Structure 1
Amino acid sequence: MTPDMLSLTPEVADALAKGAPVVALESTIITHGMPYPANLETALAVEGEIRARGAIPATIAVVKGEIKIGLTEAELDALAQDTDCVKASGRDLAVAMVRKASAGTTVSATMRLAALAGIRVFATGGVGGVHRGAEHSWDVSADLTELGATPVTVVCAGVKSILDIPKTLEVLETNRVPVIAYGTDAFPAFFARESGYPADHRLDSATDLAAAIDAHDSLGTGTGVLIANPVPEEDALAPAEIDGIIDEAIAAADAQGVTRKELTPFLLARIVEKSEGRSLKANISLVRNNARLAADIAVAMSAK
């Protein structure tokens, strides 16, 4: 794939040409992460957060086989209601293009497309990782491979407790991916502010994060940077509570034979149900919070 295969909105293309700050956004949170209309409302709110901080949002998706870097409001609405959308990791993009399919892009696919477009900062909810029981299933997210191969910074709320967090951190270390916590010494666990494991590094300002990203990229390592930004305290769930809900959801998935791409959407829907909607509120809150930090980082990088 080459950059001329990408369809950029005029706004995104103009911003990139001028060196203005741009933040990439994934689309599986729209197609597979939340029910309608919460998915559309969240997508619009996240883009609004980025604009309010002085950056340009670029939601990335495949629309009828076309790679889109930036979506119109009408395209966001259509994507949010399209029940036939597939979930596309990096390996699925070519087939989606050939079949003229529409797809929500995962972290790995969004990173790859953002890099091709020249976008250096990407905001999401949480990244994929090593699933529990991976020593038997070999279920390890392509997000970790992409982070080790693509120089895009990913701002997230850590990883969900549905994953094996220490193994995930170990794979990130193996792939030479810096893990930097923002304003905390703890690595966050998506719905919860702390996972029980420390982050490798801590920085307390968007300016310092931007400087670290620039320094890392200048070393030519070719890897991404993972910025772990904890969910706002007022919307966080207690670790013990969310862990109990997740354990029940994983047991239900095992009993029903749910695996691979279907596993995470199944678990998230079950968690929303068992938490009486509080996990969805936390999810929306953390995504918006990550968008704000990513915009601040992009603005600081652009200013330099």
Structure 2
Amino acid sequence: MNGEIVVGMEKEEILKMMEEGAVKVGTRELPYVISKGMNGATTVSSTLRIAELVGIKVVATGGIGGVHRNNKDISQDLIELSRNRKILVSSGVKSILDVEATFELLETLEIVAVGYKTDEFPIFYSRKSGMRLNMTVEAPSEIVDIFEEMSEMRMGSSLLVLNPIDEEYEIPKEEVERILEKIEKELLEKRIRGKEVTPYMLKRLFQESKGRTLEANLKLLSDNVLLASEIAKELSKRNHS
């Protein structure tokens, strides 16, 4: 905020930033935004980088970025996940992405991805993607077990914990896909590219779903924060035992 990294913003600071506006900041943009004294809203990549600077090991988010559909845009999130050893809890990748390509790239980059009480790769609003996970866990203690082994092996990548959205708030994959097909045509017609793609798609998803995507987003984020807190508690308990 105003060129300073703030970990744990107060309500007043959040409201102030909402009024003033902020630029989207990945790891690459951090030095520029800080040096210019600007307001910045962090992505997963820059959040992980800041977590590394201050010693935070467990991070929660809604969904990670990845490979975009029909173009070569690849999120910085995946690069940061591949070189920063953290535990990241998310509900999979954002539905607006090329899910299969992102799934494959996670493996290529040696990012350990485990399903929490699921054996299927979740895609944000939807619990099922059709892609199976070969690593699953049932409790926070198992997640910490894996993370400790990664540390012992000096692996530099993160542990991605995939926590599917609650069934009550799920929007079926098929329904999301129908909406996305319509939005993709709009992107081509309006020539929207780069960092403008995600905000536009999320806005149109909200409109086309009559607000259901926002409700789902808030629910899955809340659940991911809760799970991340349980993992952090278990990790802290072991470090002080």
TM-score, reference length from structure 2:
0.96
Q: How does 1:171-250 map to 2 (within 5 A)?
A: 171-250=105-184
Q: C-alpha deviations, 1:72-105, integer Å up to 9, x for none?
A: 221122123333x100010101110111001001
Aligned to 1:70: 8
Q: Give the Cα–Cα distance (whole angstroms) in 1 for the partners of residues 135 and 189 of structure 2.
A: 39
Question: What is the aligned partner in structure 2 of residue 113 from structure 1?
Answer: 50
- Percent identity reads 35
Deviation at 1:206, TM superposition (A): 1.0
Aligned to 1:86: 23
Alignment of 1:262 onto 2:196: yes
Residue of structure 2 equivalent to 1:123: 60
Residue 161 of structure 1 corresponds to: 95
- Counterpart CA distance in 1 for 2:182 and 2:149 is 43
Q: Which amino acid aligns with 2:133?
A: A
SS of aligned partner of 1:69: coil
Residue-pair matches, total: 238
Q: Which runs of 4+ in 1 moved over 6 A?
A: none
Residue 5 of structure 2 aligns to a residue whose secondary structure is strand
1:2-21 equivalent positions in 2, closer than 5 A: none
Partner Cα separation in structure 1 for residue 174 and residue 19 of structure 2: 34
**What amino acid is aligned across from residue 216 of structure 1 in structure 2?**
M
Tell me the distance in 2 between the aligned counterparts of 1:101 and 1:232. 37
SS at match of 1:251: helix
Amino acid at match of 1:164: D
In the TM superposition, what whole-angstrom CA distance separates every residue of 1:274-294 from its partner, at most 9, and x where no partner exists?
000011100111000110110
How many Å separate the matches in 1 of 2:15 and 2:142? 36
Cα offset, 1:253, TM superposition: 1.5
CA deviations 1:94-138 (Å, max 9, x no partner) are 11011100100100000011011100110000000011123xxx2
Contact 1:178 1:200 in 2 (8 A): no
**Secondary structure of the corresponding residue to residue 6 of structure 2:** strand
Aligned equivalents of 1:251 and 1:102: distance in 2?
Answer: 32
Alignment partner, residue 97 of structure 1: 34
Equivalent-residue separation in structure 2 for 1:82 and 1:171 (angstroms): 36
Q: Distance in 2 between matches of 1:95 and 1:235?
A: 38
1:205 Cα deviation from its structure 2 partner: 0.7
TM-score by length of 1: 0.77
Change (3 A) 1:262 1:211: same
CA contact 1:162–1:250 (8 Å) conserved in 2: no
The structure where strand makes up a greater share of residues is 1
Cα distance in structure 2, aligned partners of 1:253 and 1:233: 30
Runs of at least 5 residues in structure 2 that lack an aligned partner in the other structure = none
How far residue 262 of structure 1 moved from its aligned partner, in angstroms, is 0.9
One-letter amino acid of the counterpart of residue 296, structure 1: E
